[in-house]
Amino acid sequence: MYQPPHFRETRLDVMQALIRSHPLGLLISAGHGGLQANPIPFEIDATRGEMGVLKAHLSKANPQWRALAEGAETLVVFQGAQSYITPSWYETKRETGKVVPTWNYAIVQARGTPRVIDDEAWLHTQIRALTDRHEGERSTPWAVDDAPADFLKAQVKGIVGLEIEISAIEGKWKVSQNRPEADRAGVAEGLAGEASPSAADMRALVRVYGGLE
């Protein structure tokens, strides 16, 4: 990943936090069939390995798991907050006019060697952990055991598990740090007027990384 120094995020806990808050990763692998990419929801176990272990499951109907079983290095991309940035928000536009649009974003790329797991007990544990994580704060949470046991057993037979011990991880927080302070303030103010939740998240990042807090 192209990494200008002022956008590089190296704190492991910050990168792991983005994975937790934006768990739908783009799983990218290469095999005999060429490049494959699929969006897959992940869990991260930060207690294992130096940088954590990613855990997920895939449908057996998805051919990517066979490429993963070959053990080639795999890349998973987690996209955090992102937003278009108009030059109209920059003080520099009014001063010199020498500005162009850009796109702000926070992103994590994790690499590692995949391990495909065809084990019923492991799969039950993984789907329960994933479900409990995303159902836990709902007023009427759904639990895996709400489904009939025979139905659940049949569903589990149709999936395989995946673990990727992270061997390399990169974070890039491109959030207007390279702009003058007046421009950073203008971006934060402009994002406050945007309606999308991602714009609100980006505004918070611009303020923190831009020293506006």
Residue 35, SS3 per DSSP: strand
Polymer length in residues for the chain: 213
* pLDDT for the residue 198: 94
* pLDDT for the residue numbered 213: 80
The pLDDT of residue 121 is 95
The per-residue pLDDT for 159 is 97
Q: Which domains, ranges and CATH numbers included, belong to the chain?
A: 5-86+103-177 (2.30.110.10)
Would you write out the chain's pLDDT as a tens digit for each of its 213 residues?
Answer: 999 999 999 999 999 999 999 999 999 999 877 899 999 999 999 999 999 999 999 999 999 999 999 988 899 999 999 999 999 999 999 999 999 999 999 999 999 999 999 999 999 999 999 999 999 889 999 999 999 999 999 999 999 999 999 999 999 999 999 999 999 999 999 999 999 999 999 999 999 999 998
Which residue(s) pair with 162 in the sheet? 56, 116
> What residues have CB less than 8 Å from 38, skipping those under 6 apart?
26, 27, 58, 62, 64
pLDDT at 57 (0 to 100):
98
Counting beta carbons within 10 angstroms of the beta carbon of residue 63, is it exposed (0 to 12), middle (13 to 18) or buried (19 or more)?
middle
- In order of 21, 30, 73, 100, the CA distances from 6 in angstroms are 23, 31, 28, 19
Q: For position 40, what pLDDT does the model report?
A: 98
